[in-house]
Structures are given as structure tokens and as C-alpha cells.
Amino acid sequence: MIDAVRLAWHLVWLVPQEAHVVAQLQVTHPKDVVNFLRQVAFHRELIGNLRPSYMEGVRATHKAEPGVSLTCFVTGTPLRADGERPSDSFFSDMYGLTKGDGQASPAVDRCGRLLEDLIRTRPRFVIRSQHSQMPAAIDATLNDGVVNTVRQIVHPDKPEEVSGFVVADHADVLGHYDRQDSLIEGSPYNAGLFHSGAGFRDDEFFRLYRRVAQAILKTIPGAQRVEEPEVDIVSIQPA
């Protein structure tokens, strides 16, 4: 009973502050909305941990364990204000929280330069929808609405640990995006939490997780297989 009363109080206190956010969420999935608000209500103090300044402290005091195989898939997408796919207010607010002040430690600056170099030199390094927009620059403010982009790389001197840059928001790569069967008309049967404007859909999701599976296989002795060629969805144009 006490927990129920406390939950109700947090939600009553939170919803007016987040009214502009709630108005943008898909009302066809009220359970997801309530669950998200419940998590925010009980763990609002953890939001501060998403700030780049906090991440800098973690990087300075924690070191990667030697001998552990590491593969990074980096996510980020720019805010959009255009008429085609504008970012909603919820994503914009989270983006503002996660971008910080643009300042970065030397190690993080090197991570940014590494990411820029990989994007420039590896043709299939980027995973993105043809509806997305590439960031104008890879800098210390770019993020996916939850995690700062350049801080998703652990070792700035190990390009082999970075397997892709995904133009998407944080919810997209977890599978929370508007899913629409290409052969069936109607409303999406799964609504995304963020609407960042990245246009992330099934093609990008499965392309990403094929790479994740390949990265896992590489860590298992005798389990490696020849990697299947990827279809560059972005380059395909209608006839």
C-alpha cells in the first residue's frame, strides 16, 4: 500500500512537469508510457549520470579490464527542425541534457577524431536510414538522447574495437521504434519512445544486429564464419 501511494504521488508530481513530453508520446501504448514515467519518478537522480561531466569522472576513475574482448557500436543523431522529420520535444530535452557544454578531456577528443576517421575511411561503417541526416560534425555534443556519442568509445587508439556508427537514437537501437510492415497499410504496430527524426526502421535494426552477432562469434573459438555481404540500403534509389 505504501509503495502504491508513493508511486501515485511521484506520478502526480511528475506529469505536470513533463506535460509537453507526455503529449508527444504514442497514446496507443499507455502501459509503456506509465512504466517509463514510473522509472523516471523513482530514479530521477540517475538522470544526472547521463551528463558528460559525470561520464568524464567515470572515465578518469575506471579502467577497462585487460583481456576482455570489446566491440563498440556508436549511436548518435542530430536534432532536426525540418518539416520532414522534426525531433519531438521529449527527444530535444534529453538531447540538451546529454550534450553537455562541448568540453571534453584529451582522451575523449581523440575518440571523436577516431570516429571521424572511421566514418571517412570505411564505406560501410555507417548504418543509417535513407531518411536520416548525418551529423554535420562529430563533436563532443553529439548524442543519441541518452548517451553522449564520442564517450561511447573506450579506447581512442584501438579502431578495431569500433564496429559501426549508427545514425539513430538510444531507443531505436533497443528496438523501440515505430515498426510498420511494408506490406500492410495502417498505423505502426509498435510505437517508439523517442521520435528523433532518424527514420530508423527494421532494415537498420537487423543490419546492426547482424554485426553484433558477428562480433560475438569472433570471441568464440571455432565459431567464426564468413561474414555475409551487407546491402547498402541508403544507396538504393527507386526506379
Main-chain phi, psi angles of 220, to 5 degrees: -105, 115
pLDDT of residue 143: 96
Closest CA relative to residue 116, chosen from 148, 145, 149: 149
pLDDT of residue 227: 60
Q: How far is CA 225 from CA 70, 119, 164, 203, 230, in A?
A: 19, 25, 19, 22, 15
pLDDT of residue 173: 94
pTM over 0.85: no
By CB neighbour count within 10 A (0-12 exposed, 13-18 middle, 19+ buried), where does 143 fall?
buried
What is the amino acid identity at position 169? D
Whether 118 contacts 218, CB under 8 Å: no
pLDDT of residue 190: 60
pLDDT of residue 6: 47
pLDDT of residue 150: 96
pLDDT of residue 43: 66
The residue ranges of the chain whose pLDDT is under 70 are: 1-45, 181-193, 224-239
3-state secondary structure of 157: coil
